[in-house]
Amino acid sequence: MSAYFLRRLWQMVPTMAGVVLLVFLLFHWVGGDPAYILAGKMSDAQAIANIRAQLGLDQPYPLQLWKFVRQIVTFDFGNSWATGEPVAHIITSRLGPSLTVLLPLTILETGIGIALALALAFVRGSRLDRAVMVACTVGMSVSILVYIIAFQYGLAYKLGWFPVQGWGDSLGQNLLHYAPLPILIGLCVSIAPTLRLYRSFVLDEAGQDYVQTARAKGLSERRIVWVHVLRNAAIPIITHVSANLPALLIGAFLLERFFGIPGIGREVILAVERSDFPVIKAITVYVAAATMLFNLLADVLYQAVDPRVQLA
């Protein structure tokens, strides 16, 4: 097990090196000279040269790359170009609000998705099953923007059931007062694709021999679905959820932006708008690292729930 772990970590090194190289190339070679962006419209050659020297842009590329690697390892990306806030502080302080929305959302989405997918397994192939699937396709076709705009206008602005936007300082207030509407919208948007995916996992299992065996020995359909099928369908579901967590952190950027939640996603949008390169670079590199680690976690979990799987 630990040998497997070490080998997987070792295999991440070239991928991580690739990510660092890709981000470095994007920002130092594809993109324009950031000194011009920083200097603004009223710039002269002297000011630009100063900024370039300050950022180390006048040094050779290998030296800059080395500096970038050192920044990543030491978690020190300097200060944001836009606000002067340390980048490390931006990331750590934005993580909490993001998780306040994302953790309840993920738990609810997974729970509801599994329950609905199993319920649909009872009526697979029926008219109801088909109708739900078409409804899911229609639901997925409406842009997430439309959900957010309509729900924010209808439920918060018109009916006043929820605050239109905002964020407080205490976890309780955020969780109970500000987060429910974003979570509700997130659920509406994500339940359709989730249900489709989980349904395919469940149906994969429903055709297996052990299901026939269970049926042959006289178990009730309910017990077959909720005990036998669920335990096996849970394997791909668990790996799917854990592997997707880092992407979710960014994926909620629209919710965070509309509802004024100071999370990671909104920070990315702000950074792109302001050309705040240190923040984007840091978030990209760390999210990529998190994605790799969670993929490994998914594989380990896979083995934990399915003893047949050998990690070798």
Establish if 128 lies at the interface with other proteins (CB under 8 A). Answer: no
Binding of other proteins by 140 (CB under 8 A): yes
User: Is residue 280 at the binding interface for other proteins, with CB under 8 A as the rule?
Assistant: yes
Distance in angstroms (rounded) separating the CA atoms of residues 287 and 295: 12
146 binds other proteins (CB under 8 A): yes
- Closest of 188, 196, 100, 74 to residue 142, by C-alpha: 188
Q: Which stretch binds other proteins (CB under 8 A): 76-84, 134-142, 176-184, 229-237?
A: 134-142
Size of the site for other proteins (CB under 8 A): 48
Among 292, 296, 298, 299, contact with other proteins (rule: CB under 8 A) = 292
Q: Which span (95-103, 112-120, 148-156, 227-235) binds other proteins, by CB under 8 A?
A: 148-156
Residues 263 and 294: their CA atoms lie apart, in Å, by 20
Q: Does position 134 bind other proteins by CB under 8 A?
A: yes
Report the amino acid identity of residue 84.
G
Q: Identify any residues that bridge with 79 across adjacent strands, giving them in sequence order.
A: 86
69 lies in the binding site for other proteins (CB under 8 A): no
Q: What residue ranges bind other proteins (CB under 8 A)?
A: 14-16, 18-19, 22-23, 26-27, 30-32, 37, 134, 137-138, 140-146, 149-150, 153, 157, 246-247, 250-251, 253-254, 257, 268-269, 271-273, 275, 277, 280, 283-284, 287-288, 291-292
